[in-house]
Amino acid sequence: QVQLVESGGGLVQPGGSLRLSCTIPVTFFSLYTMGWYRQAPGKQRELVAVITSITSGGITDYADSVKGRFTISRDNAKNTMYLQMNSLKPEDTAVYYCNANYRARALDYWGQGTQVTVSS
């Protein structure tokens, strides 16, 4: 069983910043599409940001609600993905989950989730 290790969540004031990390102990990490999702209380899980595999160019995409504030990146040498979150708003409060997907081999893994709370 592959276990993704997330870190970086916490409590921050509106306008503040946090950086989430997700490390996944798999071979061929660079071939996975990586994504961050979040789920707020009473709401469905939603995609926040995604970064494609190295073979697909490492293209990034974001939910409209976080464009210009969040940045997704990956370090293939460290098997780690990041989410830099700036100008945080109370509506960003949620549990954030990382996802690793390797479609060609039907592999899909999820992290345990990390709480992000934006409040004064």
Strand order in the sheet with 5-7: 5-7, 18-23, 80-85, 70-75
Tens-digit pLDDT profile for residues 47-57: 999 999 988 99
Confidence of residue 102 (pLDDT cuts 50, 70, 90): very high
Tens-digit pLDDT profile for residues 59-99: 999 999 999 999 999 999 999 999 999 999 999 999 999 99
Is residue 27 predicted with pLDDT exceeding 90? Answer: no
Confidence of residue 3 (pLDDT cuts 50, 70, 90): confident
Give the Cβ contact number of residue 12 at 10 Å: 18
